[in-house]
């Protein structure tokens, strides 16, 4: 694998046939092959928009199911660790330090749980969020979700919510939500696709979640890391892919909090 080659990738596998490809170029997720309720595998990642995530990561360690990457660029030192577990959890731990105040946007995956060229409008979203920022960006003036199209505390289909009067975002959500969890890894979101039966759960150690939805893909992303000099900024995430019928059995509901 050569650095600089935009197609170079690391492949992680778990004991149940899932595989995840991580770009050696910009450390983003390139593909995630996961079974549907019929056991059929498909890539559930949609083409990733590449925001300003840094390019030129170095691989520090690679095993069958994990990879550690690091980068030093413009005075920011960052490390990213991906680990795929047998229960379908992809742990993504990031940390960064800098000599001055800095921001670092780590790459976030876009999903389509159908695994095909189909819309995500009928995907059902649940968010553990009581407040959101109407302006899109996280700033001042958060609002309660209660009584609005943004109340996903009970699961609701994305497209039907966008049709609510006053949703004022007919093309899709692009909003920051305030999570109800604490600063340890908590259950923040769940997306289910009735057609394939796939279920994506999202756990984060953060208190803000950026939710973006388009016609054929969606993204649950943490905000950019805010780095203060002399401190280590950390990001802790888990995306867990399963199948509705299996999750419904109540097995594997707890997540391993040690990382």
Partner 1 sequence: MKMPTAHRIALLFNGNKVYDRDIIAGIAAYLNTTRVSWDLFLEEDFRCRLPGIERWQGDGIIADFDDPAVCAALAHSHVPVVAVGGSYAREADYPVGIPYVATDNFKIVKLAYDHLVEAGLTRFACFSLPEAAVNRWAQERETAFCTLMERDHMHADVYRGVATSAPSWDEAVEQQIAWLNSLEKPVGIIAVSDARARQLLQACMHAGIAVPEQVALIGIDNDPLARMLTRIPLSSVIQGSEEMGRTAAHLLHQMLNGARLSGTRILVPPAGLNVLASTRHQPFQHPQVMQARHFIRQYACQGIKTEQVADYVGVSRSSLEAHFRHELGRSVHDEILHFKLDAAKTLLVREPGQVAEVAVRCGFTTVQYMHAVFKRELGCTPREFQQRSRVTPGPVA
Point out which residues bind partner 1 (CB under 8 A). 15-17, 35, 37-41, 86-87, 121-122, 124, 146-147, 149, 151, 153-157, 159-160, 163-166, 192, 194-195, 197, 244-245, 251-252
Give the shortest CB-198-to-partner 1 separation in angstroms. 11
Q: Toward partner 1, which CB reaches closer, 156 or 212?
A: 156
Quote the CA–CA distance of 124 and 117 in Å, as a whole number.
17
Q: Report, in angstroms and rounded to the nearest whole number, the Rg of the chain calculated over CA atoms.
A: 18
The residue ranges of DSSP E strands in 63-197, in sequence order, are 66-73, 76-84, 89-98, 102-104, 110-111, 124-127, 129-133, 143-144, 156-157, 174-179, 186-192
Dist CA 81 CA 92 (whole Å): 6
Taking the least distance from each CB to partner 1, the nearer of 72 and 146 is 146
Of residues 173, 172, 128, 180, the one with CA closest to residue 154: 128
| Closest CB 80 distance from partner 1, rounded Å | 26
Instruction: Return the number of other C-beta atoms located less than 10 Å from residue 63's C-beta.
Output: 10
User: Considering beta carbons, is residue 2 or 38 the nearer one to partner 1?
Assistant: 38
Question: Measured from the CB of residue 89, what is the shortest distance to partner 1 in angstroms?
Answer: 11
Question: To the nearest whole angstrom, how small is the minimum distance from the Cβ of residue 162 to partner 1?
Answer: 10
Closest CB 153 distance from partner 1, rounded Å = 7
88 secondary structure, DSSP code: S
Q: Closer to partner 1 by CB, 19 or 103: give it.
A: 19
| CB nearer to partner 1: pick between 8 and 169 | 169
């Amino acid at each position: 694998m050569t650095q600089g080659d935009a197609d170079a990738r690391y492949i992680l596998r778990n004991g149940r046939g899932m595989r995840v490809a991580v770009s050696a170029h910009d450390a983003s997720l390139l593909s995630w092959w996961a079974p549907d309720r019929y056991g059929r595998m498909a890539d559930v990642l949609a083409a990733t928009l590449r925001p300003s995530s840094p390019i030129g990561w170095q691989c520090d360690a690679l095993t069958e199911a994990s990879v550690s990457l690091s980068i030093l660029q413009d005075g920011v030192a960052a490390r990213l660790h991906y680990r795929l577990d047998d229960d379908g959890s992809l742990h993504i731990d990031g940390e960064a330090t800098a000599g001055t105040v800095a921001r670092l946007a780590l790459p976030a995956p876009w999903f389509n749980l159908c695994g095909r060229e189909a819309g995500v409008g009928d995907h059902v979203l649940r968010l553990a969020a009581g407040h959101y920022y109407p302006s899109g960006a996280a700033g001042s003036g958060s609002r309660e979700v209660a009584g609005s199209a943004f109340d996903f505390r009970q699961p609701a289909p994305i497209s039907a919510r966008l049709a609510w009067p006053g949703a004022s975002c007919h093309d899709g959500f692009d909003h920051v939500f305030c999570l109800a969890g604490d600063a340890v890894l908590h259950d923040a979101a769940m997306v289910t696709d009735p057609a394939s039966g796939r279920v994506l759960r999202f756990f984060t150690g953060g208190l803000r979640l950026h939710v973006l939805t388009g016609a054929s893909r969606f993204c649950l992303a943490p905000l950019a890391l805010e780095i203060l000099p002399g401190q280590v900024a950390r990001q802790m995430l888990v995306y867990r892919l399963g199948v509705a019928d299996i999750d419904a059995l109540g097995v594997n509901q707890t997540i391993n909090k040690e990382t």
